[in-house]
């Protein structure tokens, strides 16, 4: 979440009047995240999230995202529900941007990730993958393997401004990933952005998954690989095997992994690392100076990418496949 577009009070009141949610009490920008403009909207009837979809989101994809959240919520997944206006329409325009009001979820995202957070995440992610199987929509991953080379080429000449030698390193990694990317793994709806600030907790249990605006159809195990990157490294850059083991074992209890998925985790994690390195690199070099958004360090993901490139196999993430399927953790 972030704020790129400021909303005038008069425009906000007119927009909210299209919904049966009461009158505006306050509206405060949310700085976390990097994609859309988000506000915590309070009316005299409760709290909501107001989202303005910015340039990286293709407006043609919005019906997919809205439909997916409605589908998952109907099946009992704890996720935001888009609100329809008085006319039954979910999406409308505000300040020249597509916009929607989303239900507010209780809970807090973890500022310090624990092993128990990772265990609960594993269960919640597997539940998402199972419930997503019945969703009829499909959306290719717009930031998947085919997008990485063009995204790199946009910034290749400036990459060494961030770190000398970074361009050559990324070019070598892309060559490897394009030559060795797995084929034929189980596919379905994935979240594709399950970072800690997109997962709410009450205590050690997940109370909600939010921000589905990268959701797409891809390898289910790729979502796990994203989470290994986002949840299982410590501030000093070390990899926490206990967190990874609990994430994998608890995922397995809800949706069993195939042997092929398990063995593909290192290359999938390597791909997930370069995906976030490249988008962070783009944002680092191109975020407007006045934007109300915190830029994220691309070199964090360079270090993670180097870790995954050096592991000897999926057992580096804390479990052998036989132990995983035997229920040992």
Longest dimension (CA), the chain: 61
In this prediction, residue 327 carries a pLDDT of 66
Confidence label for 36 from pLDDT (cuts 50, 70 and 90)? confident
Confidence label for 325 from pLDDT (cuts 50, 70 and 90)? confident
Whether 264 and 309 have beta carbons less than 8 Å apart is answered as no
Report the C-alpha gap between 79 and 74 in whole angstroms.
10
Q: Can you say whether residue 3 is alpha, beta or left, with left for phi > 0 and alpha for psi between -120 and 50 degrees? A: beta
> Is 148 a residue whose pLDDT tops 70?
yes
Strands (E), the chain: 24-29, 37-43, 46-52, 92-94, 97-103, 187-190, 199-202, 205-209, 216-219
Return phi, psi of residue 94, to 5°: -145, 125
Helix ranges restricted to H, 4-86: 9-16, 62-74
How much is the average pLDDT of 171-176?
A: 98
In this prediction, residue 303 carries a pLDDT of 97
The pLDDT tens digits of the residues spanning 60-110 come to 999 999 999 999 999 999 999 999 999 999 999 999 999 999 999 999 999
Q: Percent of the chain beyond pLDDT 90?
A: 86
Tell me which residue has tokens 């206006």.
Answer: 85
How much is the average pLDDT of 134-143?
A: 97
Query: SS3 for 77?
Result: coil
User: Do the domains 9-103 and 115-326 sit in the same CATH topology, yes or no?
Assistant: no
Fold adopted by 9-103: Phosphorylase Kinase; domain 1 (3.30.200)
In this prediction, residue 1 carries a pLDDT of 40
* Total-model pTM: 0.91
Whether 194 and 211 have beta carbons less than 8 Å apart is answered as no
The pLDDT tens digits of the residues spanning 218-239 come to 999 999 999 999 999 999 999 9
In this prediction, residue 235 carries a pLDDT of 94
- Give me the DSSP letters along 90-146: S-EEETTEEEEEEEPPP-B--SS--HHHHHHHHHHHHHHHHHHTT-----B-TTSHH
Query: SS3 for 56?
Result: coil
Delimit the domains of the chain by residue range: 9-103, 115-326
Confidence label for 329 from pLDDT (cuts 50, 70 and 90)? low
The pLDDT tens digits of the residues spanning 281-313 come to 998 998 766 655 677 899 999 999 999 999 989
> Is 54 a residue whose pLDDT tops 70?
yes
Class of 115-326 per CATH? alpha beta
């Amino acid at each position: 979440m972030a704020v790129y577009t400021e909303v005038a009070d008069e425009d906000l009141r007119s927009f909210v009047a299209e919904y049966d949610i009461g009158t505006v009490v306050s509206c405060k920008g949310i700085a976390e995240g990097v994609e859309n403009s988000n506000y915590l909207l309070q009316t005299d009837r409760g709290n909501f999230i107001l989202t303005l979809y910015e340039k990286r989101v293709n407006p043609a994809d919005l019906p997919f995202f809205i439909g997916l959240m409605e589908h998952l919520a109907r099946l009992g997944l704890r996720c935001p529900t888009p609100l329809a206006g008085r006319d039954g329409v979910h999406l409308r325009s505000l300040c020249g941007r597509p916009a929607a009001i989303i239900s507010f979820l209780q809970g807090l995202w973890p500022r310090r990730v624990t092993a128990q957070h990772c265990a609960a995440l594993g269960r919640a992610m597997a539940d998402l993958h199972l419930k997503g199987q019945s969703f009829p929509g499909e959306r290719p991953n717009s930031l998947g393997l085919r997008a990485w080379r063009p995204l790199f080429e946009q910034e290749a000449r400036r990459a060494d401004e961030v770190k000398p030698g970074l361009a050559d390193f990324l070019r070598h990694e892309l060559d490897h990933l394009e030559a060795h990317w797995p084929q034929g793994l189980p596919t379905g709806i994935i979240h594709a952005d399950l970072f800690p600030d997109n997962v709410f907790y009450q205590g050690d249990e997940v109370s909600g998954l939010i921000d589905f605006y990268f959701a797409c159809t891809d390898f289910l195990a790729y979502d796990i690989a994203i989470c290994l990157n986002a949840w299982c490294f410590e501030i000093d850059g070390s990899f926490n095997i206990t967190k990874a083991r609990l994430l994998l074992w608890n995922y397995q209890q809800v949706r069993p992994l195939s042997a092929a998925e398990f063995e593909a985790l290192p290359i999938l994690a390597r791909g997930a690392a370069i995906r976030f390195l490249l988008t962070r690199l783009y944002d680092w070099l191109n975020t407007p100076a006045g934007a109300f958004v915190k830029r994220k360090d691309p070199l964090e993901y360079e270090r993670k990418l180097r870790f995954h490139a050096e592991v000897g196999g999926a057992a580096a993430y804390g479990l052998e496949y036989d132990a995983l399927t035997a229920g040992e953790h």
